[in-house]
Amino acid sequence: MIYKGFLVVIAMWITGHHMGHARDKIVNVTDFGAFPDDSKCDINAIKQALEHAKTVGAKALVFEAGTYDLFVGDVTKNTAIEVTKLHDFTMRGSKDSEGNPATTFLRHYDFRNDMYGKPILSVRECNNFRLQHVIFDNAPRYSTAGEVIANDGQSVTVKIFEGNPVIDGTLFFTSNIWDLSTKTLKKAESPTYGGDVYKKKEEYTWHVEGDPAERIMKLNSPTVASGVEVGEGLSWHFSYKGVQVNFYGCHDLFVENVWTYNAIGFCMQAQACENITAGKIKIMAPDNQLAVGSRDGWKLYACRGKIVMDELYMEGVRWDGQNVHGSFLSPYRVINKNTIWLKKKKGAILPIPEGSKIGFWNGREEVLCTVRKSVIRPIENKGGFLLTFEENIPDFVTDKTLCQIYGWNIDHYALSNSEFRNIAGSASLIRNTDVTIVNNTFDHIMYPAIMIGAAINEGEGVVPKNVRIENNRISHSGWMARYGITGAIGIRNQEKGEKLVFFDKDKAAAKLKKKSPPLTNIQIIGNTIMYGEKGIVASGTLDLLIKGNVFRQVEETIVADRKSNPGMLVTGNE
């Protein structure tokens, strides 16, 4: 009997041990005091849960359905949730009966104009990390919208829609005009952008008229009054700076069923990440909201590996839906036959991986060198890199040579089965090699919906090659120029000396003669393009294929001459 009792005790201990071990693998934030819908700040409880998960080697942190309140105070200083070096890990919200995310991270903050928002969620150097079933939002939302009810030529009066903030003294950043009958962007230029607001700060400041409960606001701006009519919609943001969800240095990143209702700055950004798989990402304007964020939907900067974007939905962002690029460098000093000091024009300074390639352009020829050693060494308060190569540096290299960094270039980027609407920029802005954009829908995109080309003057690359654009449907897009061209699909590099968006028509001919490296092997096949002035516009390509595309109510279907596109084949379009 004693022996049997001993066995029972051992069995119970083993069972309890395994149950406890299994529980440790999944951590619930409620066990640390984070409860949804209680209006209490959950930041510390979530932090404790993450620390516990790291300590016990847990595989998941789970959240119940409902709203988790994140009171950050000064949004320019405080990140709500930080995850660092937590590998093979999942942050998982709950789903509703239809499979939509049912967990909301709601950031509360001390309001002021023109803030650079730090992230709600920052994920750094986490390998095999998953984020699932979460909605990101702000209280108050950092944008507003309403209907123009009066315009006397000197000022504009707007009635703010229910559910949108009514805040006196807000600045008129990244604004847009809307056709309220269709809830689509008006085919006009944005009234304001970012830096231009500072030049006319008093003119671009909104004021509440009378009782705030009446939701009436007025802007004393003849400039805006000249471009908007009574009955149209106006949306604007209170800043254009910040990143709301940031992934940095993550390998094998999975993002699934994640939505954004409102953002301060970029909705999402991935920097220096390798291999990203994303699906069912939604950036959307709920209720009576028109706009979502003042910058890109999801920016991919200096990423590598394989990127798969499937079933995205993006609307209401002021710049680009998805912006994919690395950076160019230029020679500062050749140290010896194998070592060179390169400088970066602007932006984040990220490591250049050893073993990766650097491309040195000489006209239409590119010579590749393999990085043996890479050291970050600033130059005159700007980014700099001291690189040693396996091979000799080409003899033609001067301080004007364009240098491509393939360690900041995605091996293959795929965008499929996605929808982009009402974007005051491009929907798909690509400065990367080896790209497929297939089976997507684009509607009311201000600049070319799909824009392929490096930004030489901005220092953003690489020069695209091996790009396939197939079976997409594009309508009402490309009424404003980017890199000097309008149209539904644009293929062209921005040349040195040209502005990013605007184009000086008086100097257009001279600028078009400049020769950046060619965009090689671009294939535009089987797309349907409708309702626009121009369809496909291309310049500066090599071996361009335009085949089997269908145009409906497009004034100029294909704008691409053979002189600037040698090797071009145009066939079977209608």
pLDDT tens-digit series, residues 296-307: 999 999 999 999
Widest Cα–Cα separation across the chain: 101
Go through the domains of the chain in sequence order and give each one's CATH number.
27-130+245-282+297-301 (2.160.20.10), 143-237 (no CATH), 328-408 (2.40.10), 425-571 (no CATH)
Whether residue 11 has pLDDT greater than 80: no
Residue 52: how many CB atoms within 10 A of its CB?
15
Distance between CA atoms of 248 and 85, rounded to whole angstroms?
11
- Half-sphere exposure (Cβ direction) of 574: Cα atoms closer than 13 Å: 4
CA distance 242 to 278: 22
DSSP 505: G
Q: How far apart are alpha carbons 154 and 313 in whole angstroms?
A: 38
Q: Which of 1-5, 44-48, 204-208, 219-223 has the lowest mean pLDDT?
A: 1-5
pLDDT in tens, 459-503: 999 999 999 999 999 999 999 999 989 999 999 999 988 876 544
Q: What is the pTM of this model?
A: 0.94
- Is the pLDDT reported for residue 437 higher than 70? yes
Residue 554: is its pLDDT beyond 70? yes
Q: How far apart are CA 510 and CA 384, in angstroms?
A: 32
d(CA 70, CA 80): 6
Spell out the alpha helix ranges (H) of 170-309: 195-199, 222-225
Q: Distance between CA 71 and CA 109 in Å, rounded?
A: 6
65, 102 contact by CB (below 8 A): yes
- The CA distance from 535 to 170, in Å, is 38
| N-term to C-term CA, the chain | 90
- Count of alpha carbons within 13 Å of 442, Cβ hemisphere only? 41
Q: Which of 559, 561, 539, 563 is nearest to 549 (CA)?
A: 559
Only one residue has tokens 């991986």, namely: 353
Q: How confident is the model at residue 382 (pLDDT cuts 50, 70, 90)?
A: confident
Cis before 140? omega within 30: yes
pLDDT in tens, 488-544: 999 999 998 887 654 444 444 444 456 799 999 999 999 999 999 999 999 999 999
pLDDT confidence tier of residue 6, bands split at 50, 70 and 90: very low
The predicted pLDDT at position 17 comes to 38
Q: What pLDDT does 3 receive? A: 42
